[in-house]
Amino acid sequence: MLWFANTFHPRRAVAVWGHSEKGAGRRAVLSVFALCFVLLFLGACNAPSNTAAGSHQLAVQQAPKARLTFPVALDAHPNLVTVWLAVNDLADDVPLDSYAHDLDLLLSRLQRGAPHARIAVANVPDLTLVPYFSAEDPLPLLARVQAYNATIASIVKRHHAILVDLYQQWHELRDHPEYISEDGLHPSTLGYTRIAAIFHQILG
C-alpha cells in the first residue's frame, strides 16, 4: 500500500493505493509518486515539501491491519481520501469474500478516522487490455473483474463513498500502451497521470 498525506493546504488529501513487488518493483514505486505531483497541478495536493509520504508493500487484505500507517496518514485531517486497492488482490487470487471484508473494514476505519472527508474508491479496469494478463483466458478474467467491481460498487454505496469507475473510464488503454510500465502490470507515469485526471474529473 502506498499513501500520501499533505498537511498544510486547505484541500488536504490522502491517497491509499496498492502496490506489489511484481515486475518493475521499485520502479513502480517511483512511478506511483507521479500521482501526487499530478494532483498538485490539479489543485488537490500541496507542494512536495509539505507532503508526508509513506511506502508499504501491502495488498488490501493487509491494509486494514497497518495500524501504524493510518494514524500518520490521517493526522493530516484530510477532507479527501482516494483509495485504489484491487488489481494486486485480483492478480494474487485473493478470494472475493476476503477482499470484500477487508475493503469494508478499511473504509470503516477511514471514515472513523476522517469523518468529514470525501472518500473516492476506484475499481478494476479492463484487465484484458493489460499485458501482464495476456496469457489468461479473457472470458474468465473478465468475469473476475466484473465480480470484483460489483463488490466494490456495493461496498462504496453502503459507505456513501464515491465510485471512480476505471472500468468504464479507462477504455482508451487499448489505444495507449504507453500507459502501462515495462513490467506489463503497473501504470507508467503517463498512466498514473491519466488515472489522476479521471479521479479529478469524477471529484469535480
Place of cell 507542494: 47
| pLDDT of 134 | 94
Enter the pTM of the model.
0.77
CA neighbor of 5 nearest in space, from 38, 43, 51: 51
**Tens digit of each residue's pLDDT (9 = 90 or more) over 142-172:** 999 999 999 999 999 999 999 999 999 888 8
Please name each of the domains of the chain with its CATH number.
2-203 (3.40.50.1110)
| pLDDT of 76 | 67
* Partner residues linked to 2 by β-bridges: 17, 55
Element (H, E) at 85: none
Q: How far apart are CA 160 and CA 28, in angstroms?
A: 31
**Tens digit of each residue's pLDDT (9 = 90 or more) over 166-204:** 999 888 888 999 999 888 988 888 888 888 888 888 887
φ, ψ dihedrals at 190, nearest 5°: -65, -40
Higher pLDDT, 50 or 139: 139
| pLDDT of 81 | 84
**Tens digit of each residue's pLDDT (9 = 90 or more) over 54-95:** 333 334 444 544 443 455 567 767 788 888 888 888 988 999
The letter for the amino acid at 161 is A
133 contact partners, CB below 8 Å, separation of at least 6: 91, 127, 141
Give 95: exposed, middle or buried? Use CB within 10 Å, 0-12, 13-18, 19+: exposed
